[in-house]
Amino acid sequence: MRPVYVFNGPNLSRLGTREPDVYGAETFEDLVELCREAGRELGLSVDVRQTDDEAELVGWLHEAADSRTPVVLNPAAFTHYSYALRDAIAQRTAPLVEVHISNPAAREEFRHNSVVAGVATGTVAGFGLRSYALALRAIAEEA
């Protein structure tokens, strides 16, 4: 089974309690299980991680680049302003799909800009947790 990382940025550990009208009632544990199950169906070994620390996320992206491992990334709030994250993604050596649970373009104006989209292979947004399954499918087909 081919390894794939699923990296999640700030506040995603709060799924299920954080703004359920936007992010739904499913928990981070539900997200982990969904990703692992989708991965099994696609022949992928999925390692799901979450951090609220920008430096840690940059380090994980370096790890992925060094090992040529594909990534599904929900940068969360870092999407809109983290040039450090953008520069780490630009070093990728395998497909990277930016993913969002909600549709940032349909939300507050400050969420409309993604500084990471231009260096990602593609973006999936607005399908709830299913966005991750769609991103993993794209990785399986791309890699």
**Which residues are the active-site residues?**
23, 100
The annotation status of 139 as a binding-site residue, yes or no, is no
Instruction: Kindly state the helix (H) or strand (E) to which residue 47 belongs, with its residue range.
Output: strand 44-50
3-class SS letters over 114-129: CCCHHHCCEEEECCCC
Is there a binding annotation on residue 130?
no
Q: Report the C-alpha gap between 13 and 27 in whole angstroms.
A: 8
Helix ranges (H only) for 43-96 are 54-67, 83-89
| Nearest Cα residue to 102 out of 67, 63, 132, 71 | 132
Has 62 been labeled as part of a binding site? no
Write out the two tokens for 4. Answer: 């794939």
Q: Report DSSP state, residue 120.
A: S
Which tokens sit at 16?
Answer: 């299920």
- On whether 102 is known to bind a ligand per the annotation, the reply is yes
Q: What residues are designated binding site for substrate?
A: 74, 80, 87, 101-102, 111
Q: What residues are designated binding site?
A: 74, 80, 87, 101-102, 111
